[in-house]
A and B are shown apart, each in its own frame.
Chain A
Amino acid sequence: MKKIEAIIKPFKLDEVKNALTKIGVQGMTVAEVKGFGRQKGHTEVYRGAEYKIDFLPKVKMELITSEEMVTQVVETIERAAKTGKIGDGKIFISPVEEVIRIRTGERGKDAI
């Protein structure tokens, strides 16, 4: 099992979510996050006053998937989240040792 974390542009969330649902992904966790990478923050000026935006708003989605689905899930996110511009985001993949569904106690793949 793998954990896939993707940091994407906020307005891409619906598109990515729909694309993932289409390939059969059933659940994910989504959080509003802020950060910066190559796309740095900036200062906005309005009527002489400065408003600093040092962390840019992004959406982080997290999902757990079986080994055989990983490639498809990652490709789907990549395709749907891409605008080709700076700040499109990143995808992280990491191994997961065990998944347990609390209500039933199921483990492994069944619990995803």
Chain B
Amino acid sequence: MTKDGSISFKNSPTQALVPASSPRDFFRQNSESMDGLIRKTFQKAQSQIPSPSVCLIAVGGYGRAELAPHSDIDLLLLYSASKKEDLPPLVEKILYPLWDLGLDVSCSSRSINECLKMAQSDLHIKTSMIDGRYLDGEYEFFRNLYRLFTKNVLHRKVRKLAESLANDLRLRYHKYEDPAYALEPNIKEGEGGLRDFQAGRWIIRAKYKTDRWDSILFPDHSRLLEKSVEFLWTVRNQLHVLSGRRQDDLTFEFQEKIAPILGFRPGPEGVEEMMRQCHLSTQRISNFAQDILDRVLRDPSPLKKTLSFLQRRKIDEHFAVANGEIHLLDPVAFKRDPTQLMSLFAHCQAEQAKMDFRVEEAVMEALPFVDDLFRNSKEVNQTFFSILEKGKGVATLLKKMHELGLLIRYIPEFSEIAGRIHYDLYHVHPVDVHSLLAVEELEKLKNGSYENEAPLLTSLVREVEQPEILFFATLLHDIGKSTNGDHSFAGAEMVKRIGARMGLSPEGCERAGFLVSQHLLMVKTALRRDLHDEQVILRFANEIRNVNQLKMLYLLTFADIKAVGGEAWTSWKNILLMELFLKTSRFFVKNAVPEPFGMDKMKRLQQSLPPEIISEYEDQLPDRYLSCYSLEQITRHIEMARSLGKESLFVEWEVEKESQAKVTVCTRDRYGLFSRITGSMFLNRLNILEAQIHTWGNGVALDTFWVEDSTKEIERRLLQLRKDLQEILNGKSSIKDFLLKRKESNGIKQKVIPRVAGEVKINNQDSDFFTIVEVTGENRLGVLYEMTEALTDFGCDIHFARISTLGNRIVDVFYVQDEWGEKIQEKNKIDQLKKTVSQRLAGTCPASPAF
């Protein structure tokens, strides 16, 4: 063969690889031409060198004749012990021409004894020899080697082989467990890759002495497995051809290139669909390998078998347990009574036992009996929810249920998310795997695995009511991902339907639906909203509705993020989530949420106002404000606020009962505003009976006062009030000037001495955002002005106030913050504040230094 000719051989697959061609056909052709090439080279080498008698054997993947376009080629040159020194020149003559062709060939030369010895001690030599295939030379050598290998190596110490393979598998999984590999899997070495399939096959060869790996499996199972392996082979062949080298990482670049070649839709959907198949395939292969290994590793010695038979304990007429394994007493139990399928899992949970592999096969065989009758069976559903409620080992059981195909028969909606991936960098695992991982995280939390890292969450998961709803919602939180559009809301509807079918109470369905529909709300709020804004917490609390739902949502949020992949959950995120949880829970516990919430009113407002106004104001109006006013009033207030550019102040009133009026003041908020308004009222001898002051998010102050004037000259006084306030706010004069004038003219300084001692309470518990100052005392003209002035002088910013007069008693509540927008928390500051306000209330302190 000429050099040119062979190079074209190596390149030929590029053109020859038609997408539809089965990988087996390709392997056959590729191996046949490779065999021809290697035989020719070998024969030529033998003719050039005075050659000892040897035998050429293909081992490894080439031995199996499963040669991908750029697989390496492993050869074994077998010689009789005496002629060792003649070998190196022969090996050179074989290898050099092949290397020159650019082939990745390696060749080891060993005697039969060396082979057997090395195979006993080295796992990789042993497994590569299992697949040996005669190529050329002394056939007798080959026959002898394999007779001895099969008898003395392969069928001996099968358990040890299984242990080594299981260990190798663990090491490989560990190497590829980085979430990046879930997005760009290595389809040979990664979890469920082709290497896993080989491992399963080797064990079957060793243990069951058969080449037909499918002969020991349930037929449906082996057909699916065969398809999975062929799919990975096809992908791998394409990967080699397109990359031009031995590339087994299915990177994004090649996912995009290969999907259309394999006939998937163009664009991201096609890639997602291909990767879904890829994940389903690797899951099946991984299950196959682990099950076979497990079967061999758990296989007891004959003595133990007898012992365990004696130790066998009957659970009921269908099942018994021995040696930590559940056995089936009646082989047709599932066919006769399919509901026993679910009972089996309950027994596994109760006994903390695994299933014997024959039980697993019986489950798979009984899957066709899982029909609507089964899905609607009260007994089955109750058993399922009681498994969830107990919570112990629930993730393992659900995984097993999924692996055996029972979960998707029982909850058919789950099959839509099986293997489904999202073509982005954040969602690492396919949706079904992610969902099961989330359940596992909850369980780990409950076990105390995160006790140091997340003590609050650990205590919450243990105290939460209706844990089965939480587990149910966690398992199905992403069920809506099979639909287009918002997966949370679509998922919520699906979960409610599924819950109803499974006999969950209407409240249970609602709660599960709520958790699914809001499963992203908490993390969005915690990470993207200002948690020091009371409004944010109020709105969140309003969505969450009660403290148990809050706990569940916090737990689901944890499980969801944790299950995304290694780095997703950070203590950074947890601090923010915890803060949101604690602030919101305090609202519920103390019932400090002003009722009713303003959300309904906002919705009605949306119908009556043009959308551009709504979009400008909807985030600005506090709930506490919305709940205090009627729609008409709010509409008028917004009108005023919108004209604040032209006018700097609005003072409007409605006179009621000739001596009383409701006064609305709208202006830009500024430090000390409340005090100036109450001062102006005092100035005009208006007695304040009630007041509501609100500050909008956009800095508009909207205050309402109910005032009284005993002289029945209220209109005149109010007109004067508007004028005075205008001047004061424009800075033309100050209250102090006015008061000084007044003092000179008629001296209202004879203060009423309170007959009841006033009381001032400073409360820091009821609000996470404000210090609440509660003042009770005797009413007198100007007392509110003095209170607000005292607060303002002290550096307090008054955000909200509720002033009321009961007979001659005032009950004033002020929500204040310091100049930094924080609560007043230092002990001496609180004491000082209390003292200042008390003195002013008692009238024992000069009103202000200017007096």
- Point out residues on A near B: beta carbons under 8 Å: 9-11, 14, 32-34, 44, 46-47, 49, 51, 53, 55-57, 83-86
Contact = CB atoms under 8 A, between A and B. Distances in A.
Given A11-B527, A46-B456, A85-B820, A32 B575 contact: no
A86 B455 contact: no
Nearest to A14: B528
A32 B570 contact: yes
Contacts of B579: 44, 53
Interface of B: 455-456, 459, 527-532, 570-573, 575-576, 578-579, 582, 585, 820-822
Contact of B572 (A11, A32, A51): A32
Contact of A49 (B459, B530, B820, B822): B459
A21 B206 CA distance: 63
A53 B527 CA distance: 16
A10 B527 contact: yes
B578 A84 contact: no
B578 A57 contact: no
A44 B170 CA distance: 42
B530 A57 contact: no
B572 A86 contact: no
B703 to A, nearest CB: 21
Dominant secondary structure of chain B at its interface with chain A: helix
Given A9-B530, A32-B570, A51-B455, A86 B821 contact: yes
Nearest to B529: A11
A49 B455 contact: yes
B530 A83 contact: yes
Nearest to B574: A57
A86 B528 CA distance: 18
B421 to A, nearest CB: 26
A35 to B, nearest CB: 11
A51 B456 contact: yes
A19 to B, nearest CB: 16
A57 B574 CA distance: 9
A75 B576 CA distance: 27
Contact of A51 (B532, B578, B821): B578
A13 to B, nearest CB: 8
Contacts of A44: 578-579, 582
A56 B574 CA distance: 11
B456 A84 contact: no
Contacts of B575: 34, 53, 55-57
Nearest to A13: B528
B585 A46 contact: yes
Given A46-B585, A84-B821, A86-B822, A34 B529 contact: no
Given A46-B456, A85-B820, A85-B821, A11 B582 contact: no
A10 B582 contact: no
Specify which of B531, B572, B820, B821 lies most central, judged by the most chain A CB atoms within 10 Å of its CB: B572
B137 to A, nearest CB: 52
A11 B528 contact: yes
A51 B456 CA distance: 8
Nearest to B570: A32
A14 B576 CA distance: 16
A49 B460 CA distance: 12
Contacts of A51: 455-456, 578, 582
B102 to A, nearest CB: 29
A62 B456 CA distance: 33
A85 B797 CA distance: 12
Contacts of A47: 459
Given A51-B455, A85-B820, 12 more contacts: A9-B530, A10-B527, A11-B528, A11-B531, A46-B582, A51-B456, A51-B582, A53-B575, A53-B579, A57-B572, A83-B530, A84-B821
Given A49-B455, A83-B530, A85-B532, A34 B821 contact: no
A11 to B, nearest CB: 5
Contacts of A11: 527-531
A86 B821 CA distance: 7
Query: Ordered nearest first, which 5 A-B pairs have the shortest CB separation?
Result: A85-B821, A86-B820, A32-B572, A57-B575, A57-B572
Contacts of B576: 10, 57
A30 to B, nearest CB: 12
Contacts of B528: 10-11, 14
Contacts of A84: 821
A46 B585 CA distance: 9
